[in-house]
Structure 1
């Protein structure tokens, strides 16, 4: 009889930890992608509006992803001519695998649905440089 309370507390603690571990994109204009359908909608919207997409494949447990998340959110405000998306590789495992993600974060830059650039890692200066260059050419 003594096991249920402990299990419930463990589940509650895990649920609370899961919420705490979500990456923080508050204050930005980052679209959270949690299904292939939403991905397709956002890509179609970007193509229709002539926007380049910056897609961030990340994970809530990834330290570098946590560090770069607020910077990514700030960029989404600075460059409204771009569309910023984020995909949690653990939420969309098959989809992320189709992009051959080998490390997080991995950023893809897409124009008209086609990859034009890529950055692996939370390299802030390199990400800023690539985003600025893409924005200037948009």
Structure 2
């Protein structure tokens, strides 16, 4: 399982940061307002939100990004969000992000689960558990 705790020192060359973090049904959140709007829509539609707090410079984030996009296509009944911790530093801090990637599972705006790190089997397992819990209601 990989996690990034701090931003690595670079020589300013961001050419390796072209991994496609968004795609499929992943919504990129660039403002607090867009976050609030997506959460409100999800609550109204009775959908679970999976929020991925990530960073473009984070190796494990890059590694799991295509899988996250794949999951967004596999589970259209969920709302998949991507938050760049560098772009929304203050907002990310309010969620107490200590490492990237960090995934939050939200129902009606409330956290129901959390995963820290780029652990594909565990992310799949948590999504399956949330799916199971919603189908039993």
TM-score by length of 1: 0.84
Corresponding position: 1:31 with 2:12: no
Given that 1:28 and 1:76 are in contact with CA atoms closer than 8 Å, whether structure 2 keeps it comes out as yes
Query: SS of the counterpart of 2:60?
Result: helix
Greater gyration radius: 1
Q: Which residue of 1 aligns with 2:95?
A: 99
Per-residue CA deviation, residues 22-67 of structure 1 (Å, 9 max, x unaligned), is 5414541000000000000000000000000000000000000000
Gaps of 5+ in 1: 1-13
Higher relative contact order (CA 8 A, sep 6+): 2
1:133 maps to 129
> Contact between 1:79 and 1:135, CA under 8 Å: does it hold in 2?
no
Cα pair distance change 1:32/1:125, threshold 3 Å: same
User: Where in structure 2 are there 5+ consecutive unaligned residues?
Assistant: 1-11
CA RMSD of aligned residues (A): 1.6
Higher helix share: 1
| Aligned counterparts of 2:25 and 2:42: Cα–Cα separation in 1 | 14
Rounded to whole Å, the distance in 2 between the matches of 1:32 and 1:83 is 11
